[in-house]
Structure 1
Amino acid sequence: MSVRKHGLLPAARADARLLVLGSLPGEASLRAERYYAHPQNQFWRLLGEVLGEPLAGLGYEERLERLRARGVALWDVIHAARRTGSLDQAIRDVEPRDLRAFAEALPALRAIAFNGGTAARIGRRMIGEGPWTLVDLPSSSPAHTLPFAVKASRWSALLAFLD
């Protein structure tokens, strides 16, 4: 039986230039109340490659502070949903976030990136057109088996929005 799960609060400052959106945090992240807490999730390595910083080797609060300092915000496209386990394919009964209002409250926002197909499908519908660029990224999840180098190459496009 699926259980209703709620996402985390945003990790953002008002001067964010890039917003990275996931779908709904997995079980490890919800338990830890931390974004991308599963040790096999490649998010911190991928974003570390983009920023040229060893984010994966830092403590969680320091990771968030480094992102904020570089103009990166994190959140999810789903406020709440039913899901058994952590896979996006198991997500049901979605209650999306008001992403458009959130994005419009970030005056320096240049791009919104979606970490994976589910985030892109839901997020693009909720955000619509705006003064920002929308970027679809391969999922950082270990369930998405694309080689790390290929993922990192695609994620490197984010750097253009932080210069």
Structure 2
Amino acid sequence: MSRGFVKEDDQEVIPMVPPRADLPEGVTNYVTRIGMKELLDEKEALINEREQLGHHDEKERRIAFNHINAKLQLLTSRINSAKIVESANQPPNEVRFGAVVTFKIGDDTKLNQYQIVGVDEADVAKGKISFISPIARLLIDKKVGDKAILKLAKADRVFEIMEIGY
């Protein structure tokens, strides 16, 4: 039958689900143990939300159900590709994945502190940056006292490592 003979109300709405945090093709999906727990908690919350869907309007319920399933599919894929990195196995005197790095920028006396985490965990407001971010890539493998230089259009920005913790 031609789509021209189908009522508009019978057409299924395809849910638009925003993609998860960017993880470039071929890059391992590293996560901290806390990051993996957050992903699993998010999955459980979505499953619970799906189970709690009301039955008031069948079409709205079906749309919501499909939207949650689409989000679950993306999340499950991310969980299945995750590789937990144990902070205890990292060299304590080098910046690696999971490290909490304290540094100063240039001559500024103010100290900055960020933890290097997986793409799904990253949240600058919480002091967590993705391991694929330019700053994290710049800091990886550095030791206390080392300086890393970020080349910018107008001037270079120098990061001096003051402390490393796990």
TM-score by length of 2: 0.22
TM-score by length of 1: 0.22
Structure label with greater radius of gyration: 2
